[in-house]
Amino acid sequence: MSETAKLILDGQTYELPIVEGTEKEKAIDISKLRATTGYITLDSGYKNTGATVSKITFLDGEKGILHYRGYPIEQLAEKASFLEVAYLLIYGDLPNKEQMEFFENSITHHTLVHEDLRRIFEAFPTGAHPMGVLSAMLASLSTYYPEAQNPNRSVEAIDLTMHRLIAKIPTLAAQAYKSSLGQPTIYPQNSLGYTENFLNMMFAMPTYEYEVDPVVADAMNKLLILHADHEQNCSTSTVRIVGSSQANLYSSISAGVAALWGPLHGGANQAVIEMLEMIKADGGNIDRWIERAKDKNDSFRLMGFGHRVYKNFDPRAKIIKKSCDDVLNKLGISDPVLEIAKKLEEHALKDPYFVDRQLYPNVDFYSGIIYRAIGIPTEMFTVMFAIGRLPGWIAQWKEMIERGEPIGRPRQIYNGPVNREYKPLDQR
């Protein structure tokens, strides 16, 4: 396109190219700015910085739209399986029957993890947070597959690493949970589907069989799809930036898990339930907690509210809220925390503080209530997010590698002391 942006600096006019996406998003291309003008742009938290162009996920925060590879999230959450969505994100199109069979088969046959890994599990302290364990275990996988460290591998070899990761993450997550309880590991079962297998590894015991409730497996499938990608968020940017140094994929994903853990990102789902429990224990006084969230001298924030990109309802939150009611009804569960969540949402959406700042419930506001209903313990909530986000991380990493993007290396404006003279210790 011929349109350019004009920038006047020190009396001189520079023309900067405009880049337009297929959904009409526009960017000013500043990639040559420093070389031509000597200036850089400053954008703390990258609120206005496009790190890449991407064909994977489109989201419009103002309109509350989310598409994976052009497909609306509502359709995928309603009709697709998580592995189908994983394939779509990674390879660009929905699989045909043959491709799906091959993909599912490959995932199913890589679910076992090396027995030696059990010794690493044993070394974690009792009660270790499963996100710390998961991140460490994913990084340690790289030592079992040293060939993955060669960045110039064949497409088939890279595919194998991607499949291994998707196959093994539920096994590692369930083992982390079992070892935190001091219970024996339940091995994966090839006869079970992806979500069913995970639930079985979480809840079966050597002493009895666990029957997977299809309502629970469906709810989990939906949640995983809703979390599968969200363009250049904190953990995905982490995966890309680690991967941009040509570090292996296992280590890049392990770094993504660490980034996801924080309560401002994926850790919010755990923080939401803890907050709702706190409000319940406090007698359910919603107004008091809303006032605290608004008080700038109080560090308390309404967890599960607000989003860097959505300035409208998070479309994922809409689907989850409905699914939350469905799942609780089908399972015959009444959870007082759900009532508190609904009241909190109602109050906040009427409050000018939240209205003016366009703070709406995000994906994590109701997801924890579903996880609780299907028996997932609170500390595992963010692990569930990580299992869901894995195909997105992989797809974004793959796109970056295929595009041959350069190493990620932001600049800065230095504002510390200048030119100080070193004095020996006895003269300071």
CB–CB of 49/57 below 8 Å? no
Q: How far is the CB of 372 from ligand CMC (least distance, A)?
A: 17
Three-state DSSP class for residue 67:
strand
Which one of residues 344, 359, 394, 400 is an interface residue with ligand CMC (CB under 6 A)? 359
Nearest-5° Cα angle at 268, 252 to 270: 100
> Residues near 52 by Cβ (< 8 Å), separated by ≥ 6?
232, 240, 399, 400, 403, 405
Name which of 357 and 403 has its Cβ closer to ligand CMC.
Answer: 357
**CA atoms of 29 and 18, how far apart (whole Å):** 6
Name which of 19 and 286 has its Cβ closer to ligand CMC.
Answer: 286
Q: Please give the backbone phi and psi of residue 208, each rounded to the nearest 5 degrees, phi first.
A: -150, 155
Asked about 364 being catalytic, the answer comes back as yes
Taking residues 198 to 237 in sequence order and writing x for each that binds ligand CMC by CB under 6 A, - otherwise, the string is: --------------------------------x--x----
Radius of gyration from C-alpha coordinates of the chain: 23
Asked whether position 195 contacts ligand CMC by CB under 6 A, the answer is no
Indicate the residue type of 140.
Answer: S
Q: Give 18's strand partners.
A: 28
Asked whether position 307 contacts ligand CMC by CB under 6 A, the answer is yes
Of 67, 227, 307, 314, the active-site residue reads 307
Residue 130 tokens, joined: 């499963």
CB–CB of 204/211 below 8 Å? no
Asked whether position 293 contacts ligand CMC by CB under 6 A, the answer is yes
Name which of 58 and 305 has its Cβ closer to ligand CMC.
Answer: 305
Q: How far is the CB of 227 from ligand CMC (least distance, A)?
A: 8
CB–CB of 375/327 below 8 Å? no
Name which of 170 and 304 has its Cβ closer to ligand CMC.
Answer: 304
Q: How far is the CB of 385 from ligand CMC (least distance, A)?
A: 8
Asked whether position 290 contacts ligand CMC by CB under 6 A, the answer is no
Asked about 307 being catalytic, the answer comes back as yes
Report the catalytic residues.
307, 364
Residues interacting with ligand CMC, by CB under 6 A? 45, 230, 233, 264-266, 268, 293, 301-308, 357, 359, 362-364
